[in-house]
Amino acid sequence: MIVTEIDWKWKSGLSVRAKTNYVVLHHAAAKACSPYQVDSWHKANGWSGIGYHYFIRKDGTIYRGRPEWATGAHAQGKNHESIGICVEGNYDEEYIMPDDQKEAVKAVLRDIKLRYPNTTVKGHKHVGATGCPGKYYPLSEMMTYYRNIIPKESEKLNMTQYEELKKEIDTLKTRIGYFNYIDENMNESYKPTVQKLVDIGVLRGNEKGELMLTTDMMRIFTVLDRTGVFN
């Protein structure tokens, strides 16, 4: 899955989302629009910027909105515990979602489900007084797809890795130190867990301030964090 990153200019600071229980699906209610237009609309509402975490064009291009760790502005009452995905289009008037867009939504859903396995997917109308994401949005299809996602063997944690990492974590927990470092190139979805482990002293930087984490290590740390290992 390729996510196009945008260097957003936020009007004010973003807060860290404390938990993730839901994935909320939206449409833009505009037949043609860009993530930049959505950002300007949301700023006009007085918000920091684009309120969704992902925005997907009809051609299947996936854009990063708010960082995934941040509290969104897309579902009043649920922003503190949800990830928002919005698609270009008005699915109260447009009958069919393009295949490229539909497959891109599923790709994002799959990626989220593998990292937040206990989440539930909802349409915006399920959590608020709205018709979003539109009566012709393939909502039932997306909800069924999300429920039935089962990780492939290659996506599952190797138990040997799991046990070895837990042993290493126990050793690391005995060390004293604090190093507040997040690599600017780090995948946004891993940052909250890595920062948490730095804060509690599980991870420390070397003398140059480098954490030296591989993508696999960050993925495993993140999955373990979701299971409560570090609580």
Q: What is the DSSP string of 108-144?
A: HHHHHHHHSTT-EEEEHHHHSSS-TT-TTS-HHHHHH
Parallel, antiparallel, or unpaired for β 54-56 and 120-123?
Answer: unpaired
Single-letter amino acid, residue 182: I
- Are 38 and 50 in contact, with CB atoms under 8 Å apart? yes
Distance CA 62, CA 87 (A): 9
Structure tokens at 64: 């990063």
| Choice among 73-77, 83-87, 164-168 with the minimum mean pLDDT | 164-168
User: What domains sit in the chain, N to C, each tagged with a CATH number?
Assistant: 3-151 (3.40.80.10), 157-226 (no CATH)
The confidence band for 38, taking pLDDT boundaries of 50, 70 and 90, is: very high
Q: Does the predicted model carry a pTM greater than 0.75? A: no
Q: What is the pLDDT of residues 170-226, one digit of tens each?
A: 555 444 333 334 455 567 777 788 778 777 777 766 665 566 666 667 777 777 777
3-state secondary structure of 82: strand
